[in-house]
Amino acid sequence: MVNRMQFYIDGAWVDPAVKKSTAVVNPATEEAMYEVALGSKADVDKAVTAAKRAFATFSQTSREERVALLTKVIEIYKGRLKEIGAAVSDEMGAPLPMAEKLQAGAGLGHLMTTLDVLKNYHFEEPVGTAMVLREPIGVVGMITPWNWPLNQIACKVAPALAAGCTMILKPSEFTPTSALIFAEILHEAGVPKGVFNLVNGLGPEVGAAMSEHPDIDMISFTGSTRAGIDVAKRAAPTVKRVSQELGGKSPNVILEGADLTKAVTGGVMHMFNNSGQSCNAPSRMIVPLSKMKEVAAIAKAVADKTKAGDPRAEGTTIGPVVNRGQWDKIQGLIKKGIDEGATLVAGGPGLPEGVNKGFYVRPTIFADVTPEMTIAREEIFGPVLTIIGSKDEADAVQIANDTPYGLAGYVTGASVEDAKRVGRQIRAGNVNLQGVPNDRTAPFGGYKQSGNGREWGKYGLEDFLEVKAVAGFNAA
């Protein structure tokens, strides 16, 4: 039985300083499933005290000790994959098979990748007469979102443990159960007291207290750009490191000569995955103007086969979006697209046919979108694709980069050489060519207002390390 009314602090489950809770709502039914405790500054203070005390010893552990610890975490995590998947499905609406394989699986993938990195990473490097040491940064505050809960928790916690840091995690209040299971896994694996702490709560209370805390050395935040700005402002007076993975409005450039059916079909399916609730979703499909009608027809065929429905029902392609607030925002943007003159190719406002409850969004496609339209500029975070026409390759690149965001980009051409040429010109932290997915050993993160710092692989480990130069270390 998952303990939702206590926090995990200093190796034990403890009551909140002040009793306060919120309902966790199933987005498929709109019904409250249970309550989860909400924390306060007092709970954060308690967790930070434990983490600061634990850092003195955990920071001095050997690589071998941390390898053994991560190996144990992985072993236990594998045994709870199905349970994690079910929790994610219930709390944020992902179809159950997808939640088990991709949502829970992403967490396992990051744990395993980090373990491989740790086994071979060089924490010491001779530079002239100096030795450059890479040491754990200290106590880390982690704030994670609801859309890929285990992906984001694991790609922060795993490298922080590998680096020798101690930490306080504030998961999203919309998806608390998978995080609580993760805390149970770490406890069972024997993570030392105070190394990992979990405090549930709201951003303006727990998140703000963490960002401002003088004894937290780093904040690792994933969420909206708006919230990320607030975190950075609150963190500034203590000059702590702030690593952020924020919003996106990622371009998907399809060039002349590309296999249209394959590229458009793959792009639409990727956009609709997880109900469009991915920060790196390919939400702006940029195609040659002359191919607009053909592209729209292919995209419509994919949308028509995309079934929004019960996450536990067979044949469901996408589930609901996470909550009423997100549903209302998406509906407003769909209406805005219609009002501003985009061509509605598929979907539209309201619930899907045959659905009378739940936060379901009709898989929606707009064609003939121009770059200045609201739906081409704002992150919608739902299953809504905008198709924009470009005059030529240079125009496609200009449109792709005409955004305050820079998390991801996608390019498909007649050849990988065509895709490479355009990919090099896109201002984004991750660019995918010819439909090839991300590699967990490569860095993940954004340019511009999509954030700073990098996660995944050795780059994620280095985010949690300080660099110390010791002159004279190698002097003869």
Residue 397: CA atoms inside 13 Å, Cβ hemisphere, count? 12
Residue 65 near residue 190, CB atoms below 8 Å? no
Give the pair of three-digit tokens for residue 197. 């702490």
Q: Name the active-site residue from 91, 205, 212, 245.
A: 245
Q: Token pair 């703000």 is at which residue?
A: 208
Q: What is the distance between the alpha carbons of residues 166 and 163, in angstroms, rounded to a whole number?
A: 9
Q: Looking at the chain, how many residues does it have? A: 476
Angle between helices 63-78 and 81-92 (to 10 degrees): 70
Sign of CA dihedral 170, 84, 111, 195: positive
Would you state the torsion angle of the CA atoms of residues 313, 318, 323, 324, taken in this order, to the nearest 10 degrees? -100
- Told to judge if 279 belongs to the known catalytic residues of this protein, a careful annotator would answer yes
Q: Name the active-site residue from 279, 340, 378, 455.
A: 279
Q: What is the distance between the alpha carbons of residues 274 and 364, in angstroms, rounded to a whole number?
A: 14
Q: Which amino acid type is present at position 208?
A: A
Q: What is the distance between the alpha carbons of residues 84 and 78, in angstroms, rounded to a whole number?
A: 10
Residue 437 class from Cβ within 10 Å (0-12 exposed, 13-18 middle, 19+ buried)? exposed
Residue 384 near residue 375, CB atoms below 8 Å? yes
Residue 283: CA atoms inside 13 Å, Cβ hemisphere, count? 29
Spatial neighbors of 306 by CB under 8 A, at least 6 apart, are 268, 269, 272, 317, 318, 363, 383
Q: What is the distance between the alpha carbons of residues 392 and 283, in angstroms, rounded to a whole number?
A: 20
Q: Where are the beta strands (DSSP E) in 208-309?
A: 218-222, 241-245, 251-254, 284-288
H or E element at residue 433: strand 430-433
Alpha-carbon separation of residue 112 from 13, 73, 158, 201, 249 (angstroms): 27, 10, 9, 29, 30
Would you state the torsion angle of the CA atoms of residues 92, 98, 99, 103, taken in this order, to the nearest 10 degrees? -100
User: Residue 32: beta bridge partners?
Assistant: 25
Residue 4 near residue 36, CB atoms below 8 Å? yes
Closest by CA to 310, choosing from 319, 302, 299, 301, is: 319
> Which residues are designated catalytic?
245, 279
